Amino acid sequence: MKKYKSTHISFVYPENWTLFENDGDEVSGEDETNEVTLQNPNGSQWTVALYEKEETTDSLVKRAIAVFESEYEDLEIENTTESVGDCKLSGVDINFFLLDLLVVAEIRILERADDNLLIILQSESKELDENREVFQAIFLSLLNPDLADSF
């Protein structure tokens, strides 16, 4: 396992996955990392983005949906909530077809004391089923920084 750690985000992920880091905001001049994306060898992606507490859950979800709507057609969008450990997450599930493949995007918001995390998992449906436990392990390590620190 590899470990990613920044000031506000840490998690572990498989050795054979690729990590992409968006360093800050060019407009504001901030140099702190605010978005990290993992990609597995088959193309599935897991992204976590850090937002200030002023960004509401609804606005973050609406902005994420707008990005998908601008890139893909005929989206099926369903509101959802789920619990992972002690955390309750809200968000949406998006399904759409791309080149005869069913693609699933799960958008979740994790509200923390000082900030909000937008988490997006995007994968072909079969690939998602095969890697569900890996995605959950990454997410659990994000929720439990002590776990990520043990690596």
Span 43-73, pLDDT tens digits: 999 999 999 888 888 999 999 999 999 999 9
**pLDDT band per the 50, 70, 90 thresholds, residue 28:** very low
DSSP 135: H
Helix (H) or strand (E) holding 82, with range, is strand 76-84
DSSP assignments along 52-66, one per residue: ETTS-HHHHHHHHHH
Distance CA 61, CA 92 (A): 7
Residue-number span of the structural domain to which 129 is assigned: 2-149
pLDDT in tens, 103-147: 999 999 999 888 999 999 999 999 999 999 999 999 999 988 776
pTM: 0.88
Residue 71: burial class (beta carbons within 10 Å; 0-12, 13-18, 19+): exposed
Q: How many domains in the chain?
A: 1
The CATH number linked to 99 is 3.40.1000.10
